[in-house]
Amino acid sequence: MTTVPPEAAAQPLNPPATHAPPRNFTYWLSTTNHKDIGILYLGLGALFFLIGGVEALVMRLQLAVPGNTLLRGETYNEFFTLHGTTMIFLAVMPMLLGFSNYLVPLQIGAKDMAFPRLNAFGFWLSALGGLTLYLSLLEGPPSMGWFAYAPLNERPFSMSLGTDFWAAALLLTGTGTTLTAINIIVTASRYRAVGMGLWKMPLFSWMAYVNSFIIVFAFPALNAALIMLEVDRVLSGHFFSHGGSPVLWQHYFWLFGHPEVYIMILPAWGIISEVIPVFSRKPIFGYEFVAGSTLAIAVLSFAVYAHHMFAVGFARPVNLAFAASTMLIAVPTGIKVTNWVATLWKGSIRFTVPMLYALAFILQFTFGGITGVSFAVLPIDWQVTDTYYVVAHLHYVLMGGTLFALLSGLHFYYPKMTGRMLSDALGKLAFWMIVLGFNGVFLVQHVLGLMGMPRRVYTYPDLPGWGALNMISTVGAFVLGLGLLLTLINLVVSRRLGRVAGDNPWQAWTLEWLTSSPPPKSNFSRLPPVHSSRPLWDLQHPHDPDHKRPRRHDKGGHIREEEKEHHQ
């Protein structure tokens, strides 16, 4: 791969896409190309998202009216456990790893991941983990909840092999995810284009890079706990019961579990940080602050884990320390939201479907973040712990945040991946159904939680308001499901009938938009010189490149006069 001088900017840098060889079953089994692995991850995540979504609809039907008998209590617990495990480990994470696999080499100007075979091995381990979890249906599915608190995960309370299948599934997916994270770290460290320093990487790649370090440090805690659990269950060990400590399981689980929240949100933030500048026609406001706050979040994500355990009875200094760290992590998160809003400010906003999802993301994630800070106030946490308020908060962060960012990224990068545009009309119809359905499901659950309705129950008494609010939540779930079904139809239909996209349909500025749509096997034949985080802007505007602009702010922190109207 060679680098071209600026004077060659007017000439096409990369050849148009050629016809790809037929992709049959054996091709997908043996491919090691990062884009194929990315698509496999996205397909795996979508498949399990569909399964987890159906499980959620069945659970909402059970809860639609008080005293419902559609499911037995044990069956509801099995649906509940499979839904949580599937959505977190087999749907959201694979889809985020899919975007990372597909985009990081393209954004940094690399031909492939550093270790292509290891990359494929990591994916197939994750897929095997998903298969293992659902093979538990043959022996009795796990029913102890996706968090698997001790002693519910031990033999006297979980006699079927379902819990052992669950532990094996998480070990397999965890190992596959860790291998992929190591691959991303090495790729971003060693294979960036000439001139692209770490602080010039596109923000999606930067956040995927930082996120990979969180994965490498967080997953060993979960994997160790899973092995200890199997020692207890198979070899009569005493880690979490029979003289061991059930609270020890919670320490291990949440030492993984809270960083896991950021594992599922950092790449999503990266997608939003790419979409908003492009459709505001402005550079991201405060690139350094957005990137730097990511590092702060990565460190603090491990320092707040015990706020999930305020109800176990810690000493007051311990509670206060974790309450303080929980409030502290809101600061770098707030910096990101502020920077996204500042990027929108006075921008030439285009309300495309990716942008609509990004705007909905900001509103819903911010709301979920604010309710999250409320858990740092100990009396509030003790009052609402184990109620539907927690369920609502969790879903506003992970679904209102991550899912909407994924949908934004899917509509944004679909033209690059397929060479076709999605239907705008169908996309906007699906967007409004998903927004209305999502808020219909979870907004009322805040009220249910404050009214005292406990979570993790398969039925409830006919207390004033509970039945009506649960019915609203169930109707919202089906509206949400219909919106997601429309999105799936859009993806399938547009693959054959969508308008031809071209290489850069959004007029974006990072390297992935330089190559053809879909990209050739080796991504690029030549690269432009990289001097900033927007190399295509520099290439197209040699008279006004980013790296030759004065800093936007003067020494007093005020925006320079010449920059006030400079949106591009």
> What pLDDT does residue 290 have?
94
CA dist 132 and 395 (Å) reads 26
pLDDT higher than threshold 90 for residue 110: yes
Compute the residue count for the chain.
568
For tokens 């996205």, the residue is 42
* pLDDT, tens digit, 9 for 90 and up, residues 379-437: 999 999 999 999 999 999 988 889 999 999 999 999 999 999 999 999 999 999 999 99
Comparing 60 with 311, the larger pLDDT belongs to 60
Question: Facing residues of 559 across strands?
Answer: 553
Give 39 or 311, the one with higher predicted confidence. Answer: 39
523 pLDDT higher than 90: yes
Tell the burial category of 526 from Cβ atoms under 10 Å away from its Cβ (0-12, 13-18, 19+).
Answer: middle
Mean pLDDT (whole number) for 431-457:
96
At residue 21 the predicted structure's pLDDT band, cuts being 50, 70 and 90, is low
- Residue 264 burial (10 A CB sphere; 0-12, 13-18, 19+): buried
pLDDT at 15 over 60: no
As a whole number, the mean pLDDT across the chain is 91
Residue 559, token pair as written in the block: 């925006």
Q: What is the tally of helices (H) and strands (E) in the chain? A: 18, 2
What's the distance, CA 505 to chain centroid?
A: 25
Q: Residues 431, 433, 435, 438: is their CA dihedral positive or negative? A: negative
Residue 10's pLDDT is what? 44
- pLDDT for 8 equals 47
Q: Quick check: 381 and 387 in contact, CB under 8 A?
A: no
Q: What is the pLDDT of residues 65-92, one digit of tens each?
A: 999 999 999 999 999 999 999 999 999 9
Q: Peptide bond preceding 151: is omega within 30 degrees of 0, i.e. cis?
A: yes
User: What percent of the chain has pLDDT above 70?
Assistant: 93
Name the architecture of domain 30-540.
Up-down Bundle (1.20)
- On the question of pLDDT at 445 being above 70, the answer is yes
| CA-to-CA separations, 489 to 261, 338, 432, 478, 485, in angstroms, rounded | 30, 35, 16, 16, 6
CA 439 to centroid of chain Cα atoms:
19
Does 259 sit behind a cis peptide bond, omega within 30 degrees of 0 on the bond before it? no
Query: What pLDDT, in 10s, does the model give residues 146-195?
Result: 999 999 999 889 999 999 999 999 999 999 999 999 999 999 999 999 99
Please determine, for residue 18, whether its predicted confidence score (pLDDT) is greater than 70: no
Residue 402: is it exposed, middle or buried by C-beta count within 10 angstroms (0-12/13-18/19+)?
Answer: buried
Find the range with the poorest average confidence among 44-48, 318-322, 428-432: 318-322
Residue 545: pLDDT band (50, 70, 90) is confident
| Domain map (residue ranges) of the chain | 30-540
- What is the Cα gyration radius of the chain? 24
β-strand partners of 526: 2
**Sequence-ordered strand ranges (E) for 93-217:** none
Long-range contacts at 236-245 (CB < 8 A, ≥ 24 apart):
240/150, 240/151, 240/153, 240/154, 241/150, 241/151, 241/154, 241/156, 242/154, 244/150
- How far apart, in whole angstroms, are the C-alpha atoms of residue 69 and residue 346? 54
Q: Quick: pLDDT tens for 454-497.
A: 999 999 999 999 999 999 999 999 999 999 999 999 999 999 99
User: Which residue in 226, 408, 218, 386 sits closest to 308, CA to CA?
Assistant: 386
- The set of residues, in sequence order, having a beta carbon less than 8 Å from that of 428 and lying 6+ positions away, is 353, 356
The percent of residues in the chain predicted with pLDDT above 90, rounded, is 78
The DSSP 8-state label assigned to residue 21 in this structure reads P
The model's pTM is 0.92
